[in-house]
């Protein structure tokens, strides 16, 4: 793969939290090298309020964020995708469309912050924990020397990133 900007799509079912967080994080950590997108198999129609709150607290511009269907990225006129990462188990199990560009795919599952039950403060902390997990993976991914890896080695590396250990020792 040549030195250029790579298109990365993050998928989740609802496209209201995890995939949106990942889209923002790759825009920050991969600026100039990666262009991030997010979508859902069954988009909720609105980004979860705690997702927007967290991203604003982390100084992200949220004005252009929106829930999108993954169908937007399966059309012939869509940007050719280099990487597609599922960030929820449900989306990973679904039959994905055929993506233009024959991207490298991997599963980077993270817990669903929207489903977490607790006080508002506990929920905020959980949203931040999920964001941090995705951000850590993205930092590792954006530090790869993609141009130095063949497709097979690159696919292996992005899949390994999805299996990194969490701080509490659990493997995702």
Question: Which positions are annotated as active-site residues?
Answer: 12, 88, 96
Pairing verdict, β 34-40 and 83-86? unpaired
Phi, psi of 105 (to 5 degrees): -120, 150
| Element containing residue 41 per DSSP (H, E) | none
Taken in order 2, 25, 32, 100, is the CA torsion positive or negative? Answer: positive
Helix ranges, the chain (H):
18-29, 49-57, 89-93, 120-143, 151-161
> Helix 120-143 and helix 18-29: axis angle, to 10°?
40
């Amino acid at each position: 793969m040549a030195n250029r900007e790579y298109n990365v799509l993050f998928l989740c079912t609802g496209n209201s939290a995890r995939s949106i967080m990942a889209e923002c994080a790759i825009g920050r950590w991969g600026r100039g090298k990666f262009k991030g997108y997010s979508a859902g198999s069954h988009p909720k129609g609105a980004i979860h309020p705690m997702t927007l709150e967290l991203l604003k607290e982390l100084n992200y511009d949220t004005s252009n964020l929106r829930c999108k269907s993954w169908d937007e990225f399966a059309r012939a006129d869509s940007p050719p995708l280099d990487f597609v990462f599922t960030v929820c188990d449900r989306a990973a199990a679904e039959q994905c469309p055929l993506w233009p560009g024959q991207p490298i795919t991997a599963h980077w599952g993270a817990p669903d912050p929207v489903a977490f039950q607790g006080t508002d403060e506990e929920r905020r902390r959980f949203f931040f924990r999920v964001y941090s997990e995705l951000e850590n993976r993205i930092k590792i991914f954006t530090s790869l020397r993609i141009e130095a890896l063949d497709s097979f080695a690159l696919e292996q590396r992005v899949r390994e990133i999805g299996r990194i250990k969490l701080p509490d020792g659990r493997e995702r």
